[in-house]
Structure 1
Amino acid sequence: MQTKISQRVIAGLDATGKRQFIRDSDLVGFGIEGSAKGKFSYFVETRVKGSGKSVRTHLGNVDHIRLDDARQEARKLLMEAKRGTDIRFRHEEEEPLPETLGKAHEEFYAVKKHKLAPSTLADYRKTFNNCLADWKQLPTRQLSRRMVQQRYIELLDEKNPAYVNKVFRNLSSVLNFSGVRPNPCEVISDKDLRVQVEGKSRFLSGMEIHDVMQWHFTFRPRVTSLLLFYMLTGVRREEALGLTWADIREGKVHFPQTKNKKAHFVPLVGILNGLVGERRPDDEKVFPFTNASLRTALDKFKAQVKFREDWTIHDLRRTFSEHMNLIGYGELDIAVANNQGASGVTRRHYLSGQLAKENLLNRMFEDLQRQFEYYYREIGGEVKKVPKDWVPTDILIDEDIAGRMTNEDWDDYASTIDNSREGF
């Protein structure tokens, strides 16, 4: 069939149960091919100068490419064929763009799943679905700088600037991966639109550590074991939540699934043994929390132990680093303990070795526990009354009595509960 291809022709396309070709009467060599099931795509068909061969290459789905853009691309390819370029191989060498932004993200997830941590990929999905879900079916070529600029400004009125920056930082990474040039997200920096956000610096003070420890040793809510484990090891949220008892062996906690894909371990010295608890079957989790249940337990705990500023699980990793620095450990040692990527020859070839690392971590964790012991024993403060639902059945104290207990009373009471904990 030969006719002038127009938007009306495209709107009338329908499956016929067999393959069909519609060739443009205005631009010879340009057309639309339809499958038996009704999938239609633009194509260019012509002879290559010097070879005498007739070749055909497809430009993309008619639903995702504007007719004017397809016609313009067809003219360019027809000119190249006249110069002797086999346009089939030209398109094989240049990887075609994903048809839609949704497909661009799916390709990114599929390829990057072996390089990026599951939590990182989940973050990419979440930011796209939360803020850009209406762009899933948007043809990749049609995303413009103006669209990015407008959405960025709109989101700033609704969400935290740091989160908005992350949304478009993630989108920019996906577009770069897909080969979109120029990247429309560059409009944010080109026009100086990005709102600068100060880096987070929250960590728990000695007094706040004291309060967490007092609750732990006195009332034993399950969440405080995990909170202290975070503060005393510096591991990330998902690294601890994903632990099973099969990961604990030879006196160490092994973390095979880390953010940077670099295996990490923590020696179980001092109080760390008590925090992980008694061994259960290998396939059971060490800390019986999901992300959701940890969030609920943490909110409940913070509602009772009210600190001056709010804090998050990641702030406990910062607490670990800050107090390690306070007791004299430098950036290099703390980076090893935090399992951060090596940047120097010494770190790559010496401090990342198992023997050096184990010796260093044993010393660091023991020193940090001594510092926490100082906070627990020496720092005073008013003891808050504890709600009944936080008190385990084996530790029951009358609320009136609890409200009159002094710091010395609480210290004495905690020591009678368990005076065998190493390091405390």
Structure 2
Amino acid sequence: MSVNPQPRRLTEGYIRTLGYLDRPYTVRDTAVTGLLVQINQKSKSYKVQRDLYTGERGRRRFVKTVRRTLGTTDDITLDDARTRAQELIAQVKRGEDPNARPDDKTANPDAWTVRRMYDEYAADMRARDCRERTIEDVLSRRDRHLKAWLDIPISEIKRSMARERHKELTRESGKRAANMVFKEFRAAFNLAIKAADDPDAIGDNPVKAVTFNKERASNRVIMPDDLPHWWERVQAIPNPIRRDMHVLGLLSGLRPGTLVSLRREWVNLNERAIVIPRMKSGRSFALPLSPYMVELVKRVIAAGDLLYAGTPWLFPTRANSSRDVIATQVWKEKTLPSETGHILRHTYRTVAQRVGIDRINARLMLDHAVPGIDGVYVHEKALFDGLLDTQDKMTEHLLALCTPQRTQHAEKCCDESL
């Protein structure tokens, strides 16, 4: 492969064929001029690059070359990358630098509009290495749900306004959406207070007056008595790859977004692990595999080889439009409404508590930060053998809950043999 391939119309399938080399290289998209994919040693990222000019036509002056990373090819689709690239290119064509920070007017509370507050919050999230997709979602919710507030100074957002808008959003978009919007608003406002030279001029956080909705938890965990019925319906799913995907979701407690994007290159069956380079926390994570999970992964790989030869994904599917082989995008099943996805993570944690798994181990198994001084001295890699034992115990108990008849039959056969 040439180190600098010629520009071409990018496709998801072509991007997957691009191999990793010792040094980075790029391939430019001819469909959206300025969009490119950069292949590093271990990752592939969408980027946009465009020259910025200022001045009237005929007297334009070159200012700089603007470059922005849109996200990795695992985080966003090619269609999303093209859409975001076109938005940024439109800014550059207007003579705006999308990477420029607002003028430092922190001493003036009127300069801290809701729009500016969120832009600063987005910049802070990027500095903390948050996922670009997460940042874009925050800004999208701002523009959609707080459109009328965007150019209002945050010092003029009163407590009564926050309470009323939260109630309106609850009626319009639901309890969880309303809570999410104002939790993000609260975090952005707190950042503004820290960053402003005169925080007293900004005032107190108006979200303090908001009474957050109580989100129903009844549909967030599958009760032990309901697991046999859940198991039967999962086993009835005709697609073997999706069937095993949901089972692995229950046995691992992985976040659904991570589960569907697992890559084969991360699987190390000899070490009984799936090593995920980057989780929501920003850290890498080695998922321990029980023997049952190892056999499940082997079965999924074999099915993938048969149905989607050469796929890099553990749970592949075909795109509806292009029919390219892609990672599974949707984890919901019509036959299991509200019983796939994140609910399986909650169920895993609940069962861990029921079994009596050590609290630190339970957090490590789910890639949760360990609080307090324990989080300073606990090292997951050194504890991995113990986590394998914990996963064995979890799998054994979950399978016993899901298949009580089979478990009772096995115990009966064992007693008769004795």
Rounded Cα–Cα distance in structure 1 between residues aligned with 2:318 and 2:121: 27
Matched to 1:101, the amino acid is: V
Deviates more, 1:129-138 or 1:178-187: 178-187
Classify 1:184/1:287 alpha carbon distance in 2 versus 1 (closer, same or farther; 3 Å).
Answer: farther
Rounded Cα–Cα distance in structure 2 between residues aligned with 1:123 and 1:291: 23
Matched to 1:349, the amino acid is: Y
Q: Does residue 338 of the first structure (1) align with residue 366 of the second (2)?
A: yes
CA offsets 1:374-420 (integer angstroms, 9 cap, x no match) = 2344259xxxxxxxxxxxxxxxxxxxxxxxxxxx9xx9xxxxxxxxx
Q: Mapping of 1:25-424 within 5 angstroms?
A: 100-115=113-128, 116-118=130-132, 120-140=134-154, 142-179=156-193, 181=199, 186-190=205-209, 193-197=210-214, 200=217, 202-217=220-235, 219-221=237-239, 222-249=241-268, 250-276=271-297, 277-278=300-301, 284-288=312-316, 298-302=332-336, 310-311=338-339, 313-350=341-378, 352-356=379-383, 358-379=384-405
Rounded Cα–Cα distance in structure 1 between residues aligned with 2:226 and 2:187: 39
Classify 1:168/1:373 alpha carbon distance in 2 versus 1 (closer, same or farther; 3 Å).
Answer: closer
SS in structure 2 opposite 1:109? helix
Classify 1:121/1:323 alpha carbon distance in 2 versus 1 (closer, same or farther; 3 Å).
Answer: same
Q: What TM-score do you get using the length of structure 1 for normalisation?
A: 0.56
Rounded Cα–Cα distance in structure 2 between residues aligned with 1:157 and 1:124: 20
Matched to 2:122, the amino acid is: Y
Tell me how far 1:261 sits from its aligned partner.
Answer: 1.7
The CA RMSD measured in Å over matched residues stands at 3.9
Matched to 1:355, the amino acid is: A
CA offsets 1:162-181 (integer angstroms, 9 cap, x no match) = 43122112112122223464
Classify 1:209/1:294 alpha carbon distance in 2 versus 1 (closer, same or farther; 3 Å).
Answer: farther
Classify 1:177/1:230 alpha carbon distance in 2 versus 1 (closer, same or farther; 3 Å).
Answer: same
Rounded Cα–Cα distance in structure 2 between residues aligned with 1:188 and 1:110: 22
Classify 1:297/1:195 alpha carbon distance in 2 versus 1 (closer, same or farther; 3 Å).
Answer: closer
* 1:215/1:224 contact within 8 Å kept: no
CA offsets 1:6-63 (integer angstroms, 9 cap, x no match) = xxxxxxxxxxxxxxxxxxxxxxxxxxxxx987xxxxxxxxxxxxxxxxxxxxxxxxxx
SS in structure 2 opposite 1:300? coil
Tell me how far 1:209 sits from its aligned partner.
Answer: 2.7
Matched to 1:177, the amino acid is: L
Tell me how far 1:354 sits from its aligned partner.
Answer: 0.8
Count of residues paired in the alignment: 286
SS in structure 2 opposite 1:265? strand
* 1:324/1:334 contact within 8 Å kept: yes
* 1:101/1:138 contact within 8 Å kept: yes
CA offsets 1:63-105 (integer angstroms, 9 cap, x no match) = xxxxxxxxxxxxxxxxxxxxxxxxxxxx788598756433432
SS in structure 2 opposite 1:254? strand
Tell me how far 1:297 sits from its aligned partner.
Answer: 5.7
CA offsets 1:144-199 (integer angstroms, 9 cap, x no match) = 44543432332233233343122112112122223464667733434xx4145156
Rounded Cα–Cα distance in structure 1 between residues aligned with 2:316 and 2:203: 44
Rounded Cα–Cα distance in structure 1 between residues aligned with 2:339 and 2:234: 18
* 1:108/1:177 contact within 8 Å kept: yes
* 2:278/2:284 contact within 8 Å kept: yes
Rounded Cα–Cα distance in structure 2 between residues aligned with 1:218 and 1:199: 29
Q: Is the radius of gyration larger for structure 1 or structure 2?
A: 1
* 1:128/1:167 contact within 8 Å kept: yes
Runs of 5+ consecutive residues of structure 1 not aligned to the other structure: 1-34, 38-90, 304-309, 381-407, 412-424
Partner of 1:30: none
* 1:241/1:290 contact within 8 Å kept: no
Classify 1:154/1:346 alpha carbon distance in 2 versus 1 (closer, same or farther; 3 Å).
Answer: closer
SS in structure 1 opposite 2:173? coil
Rounded Cα–Cα distance in structure 2 between residues aligned with 1:297 and 1:194: 32
SS in structure 2 opposite 1:253? strand
Q: Mapping of 1:7-18 within 5 angstroms?
A: none
* 1:212/1:224 contact within 8 Å kept: no
* 1:223/1:298 contact within 8 Å kept: no
SS in structure 1 opposite 2:286? strand
* 1:241/1:289 contact within 8 Å kept: no
Runs of 5+ consecutive residues of structure 2 not aligned to the other structure: 1-53, 57-103, 321-326, 411-418
Rounded Cα–Cα distance in structure 2 between residues aligned with 1:298 and 1:219: 12
